[in-house]
Amino acid sequence: MPRNGLSVDVEDWFQVGAFERVIDKADWDSLSPGVERNTDAVLALFAESGAKGTFFTLGWVAQRYPALIRRIVAAGHELASHGWDHQRVFTMTAPEFRADLVRARGALEDAGGVAISGYRAPSFSIDTRTPWAFAELAEAGYRYSSSVAPLRHDHYGWPEAPRYAFRPLADAALVELPVTVAQIGSRRVATGGGFFRLLPAALTDFAVRQVNAEGQPAVFYFHPWEIDPDQPRVANAPLRSRLRHYSRLGAMAGKLRGLIARHDWGRVDAVVDALAPPGATHRMAA
């Protein structure tokens, strides 16, 4: 069994939370896509080292690129859900979230021909505002979620959440496996995605070693668009969003190769299989 979970959030450059106020979803199909080309590049990068991972994929992407979904599955990676079109969970009601889960899973299973049992919320948007979301996932039959960022961030985060796997419901076997953060004194520091791209790789190495030393698996994530320095620029996005999104794109592929080589990685479902029974249920406030 792998020691740590390697994961990819499969979405296109125009579907990210940073641009959601300046790019209308109605315009997505008219924009220059990069998700198929970039995800194929990720598949090739993983194949170089023999690494396997989990591809948390939007249903919107699966519907439009079914051959890509089949290539992910054929390469031995786990296919999991990232929701339909990157709508944050805390912007939905429980019935809307339920419908989103059904629509996304249908597109993924139709394209990939495999059962979907894992879920990651767009922008880690399961937090204290959405105490009902875990119950919806359990009712829908998901084995695990990796939807919590256990830190404080200006766009998301549940800083009081456990750093490691926990059961969010007392009456269900659903496991939440938060993404890994480094604990530095009293502060939790993010390590995946743009944080990995912008900050020294040594910080993520430190976090992986730190959680492994405590007998826990690390969970790392990134996006296919992060290895594409030639993607279109969104000039009318806020400066802070542009700096976060476009900085050090050219360095990302090399940093990923190094990270994969230095640690033991695998599919997130295999990491869940290898977990000791998660500790006490951690219930969110209603």
The whole-angstrom separation of Cα 74 and Cα 144 is: 22
List, in order, residues 6 or more apart from 200 with CB less than 8 Å away. Answer: none
Q: What is the mean pLDDT of residues 218-242?
A: 96
Higher confidence at residue 1 or residue 105?
A: 105
Residue 286 has pLDDT above 50, yes or no: no
Helical ranges in 84-228 per DSSP H = 94-112, 133-139, 193-198, 201-213
* pLDDT (tens digit per residue) in 63-121: 999 999 999 999 999 999 999 999 999 999 999 999 999 999 999 999 999 999 999 99
Q: Is the pTM of this model over 0.75?
A: yes
Neighbours of 285 (CB within 10 A): 7
* pLDDT (tens digit per residue) in 24-68: 999 999 999 999 999 999 999 999 999 999 999 999 999 999 999
Query: Contact at 8 Å (CB) between 271 and 8?
Result: no
Confidence of residue 277 (pLDDT cuts 50, 70, 90): low
* pLDDT (tens digit per residue) in 137-156: 999 999 999 999 999 877 78
Give me the residue label for tokens 């080292």. Answer: 49
pLDDT at position 156, please? Answer: 80
Q: Please, what is the Cα angle at 234 between 233 and 236, to 5 degrees? A: 145
* pLDDT (tens digit per residue) in 189-220: 999 999 999 999 999 999 999 999 999 999 99
Residue 285 has pLDDT above 50, yes or no: no
Residue 284 has pLDDT above 80, yes or no: no
